[in-house]
Amino acid sequence: MFLQDLQSKDVVNVVDGTKLGKITDLEIDSATGKIIAVIVTNSSKWLSFFTGSNQTSLQWNQIVKIGGEVIIVNSSSQE
């Protein structure tokens, strides 16, 4: 799977069903080459207006399932 494949999918929180946005970047451990976290950007202007940020960092282990159309994550507390 390529980064562009991940970027085309919506990220949805399994806890409350909210759409968090789309993956825009990855954080990679330079020593091991493993993905540590994904950066999700919400394109909603209203959310970024109220929260002051439109990006969320999710740890790789928070990803529950990568499906054909969506990425399901377990994010009980968003950063």
- Reported as a pLDDT band with limits 50, 70 and 90, residue 67 is very high
Query: Considering the chain, what percentage of its residues have pLDDT values greater than 70?
Result: 84
Q: Calculate the alpha carbon distances from 59 to 28, 37, 45, 56, 79 in Å.
A: 11, 4, 24, 10, 11
- What's the pLDDT score for residue 78? 47
Domains defined for the chain, CATH in brackets: 3-73 (2.30.30.240)
Question: pLDDT at position 22, please?
Answer: 94
pLDDT over threshold 70, residue 51: no
Torsion of CA 2, 59, 63, 42, to 10 degrees: -80
> What pLDDT score was predicted for residue 39?
95
Q: Is the pLDDT of residue 24 over 80?
A: yes
What's the confidence (pLDDT) of residue 43? Answer: 72
Backbone angles phi, psi at 62, to 5 degrees: -85, -10
